A and B are shown apart, each in its own frame.
Chain A
């Protein structure tokens, strides 16, 4: 158990809908990273927050947004969902903003868009 929690574990929704994925980092970790994992693209970095502020952006679509709250939990919002958004979404956390080697991953949320 990495100490990172993600809810829900599974999500089934329809095209065009909007969903929110939630992540609670390990105790003491200030950074939260969001990743998308699909069969053809592998694990892709979406966005990083550090202590409430956006720190780095990856291949995140405009239909997706994220935020980190004062209690350091983070939410990833996915809107106008398309079939291709079906994937595993992982959250990772680390103590600092430059902690490449100490990212701890959560168990993921499996999203299925029908």
Chain B
């Protein structure tokens, strides 16, 4: 079993929809949780960074962490075609520990 599980998709939604992307993990030591966006043929770019449990909001993006369920989510409100990309979750047990990535969920937002 992988440490981090993520549904590969693709997830196809109409413009304006609320998108929910999720990851589950098995290592209870993880404390740092990140979401990266990766456009085709580009490197990943950091979208959201959360420490421990709770919610964090940034514009149209909200990250949620539920450590009791070992489950993290990224919500995208009012999705746009420009949001079409692969979204990778990543997590780590400590600030100096390596990042463990999910395999990514491919999102397509159609006009």
Contacts and interface: CB of A to CB of B under 8 A. Distances in A.
A98 interface: yes
Nearest to B100: A45
B41 interface: yes
Which one of A45, A58, A98, A102 has the greatest number of beta carbons of chain B within 10 Å?
A45
Interface stretch (B61-69, B72-80, B90-98): B90-98
A42 B88 contact: yes
B102 A107 contact: no
A52 to B, nearest CB: 18
Interface residues of chain A: helix, strand, loop or mixed (majority) = mixed
B99 A45 contact: yes
Interface in B15-57: 32, 34, 41-46, 49
Interface residues of A, number: 24
A1 B41 CA distance: 13
B43 A44 contact: no
B43 A100 contact: no
Which one of B44, B95, B103 has the greatest number of beta carbons of chain A within 10 Å?
B44
Contacts of A98: 95-96
Contacts of A4: 43
B46 A103 contact: yes
Which one of A42, A97, A106, A108 has the greatest number of beta carbons of chain B within 10 Å?
A42
B42 A43 contact: no
A14 interface: no
Given A42-B101, A107-B41, A107-B43, A101 B49 contact: yes
Contact of A42 (B41, B95, B97, B102): B102
B92 to A, nearest CB: 6
8 contacts: A42-B101, A42-B103, A43-B101, A45-B99, A56-B96, A97-B96, A105-B43, A105-B45
Q: Which 6 A-B pairs have the closest CB atoms?
A: A105-B43, A42-B103, A43-B101, A101-B49, A45-B98, A98-B96
Interface of B: 6, 32, 34, 41-46, 49, 88, 90, 92, 95-104
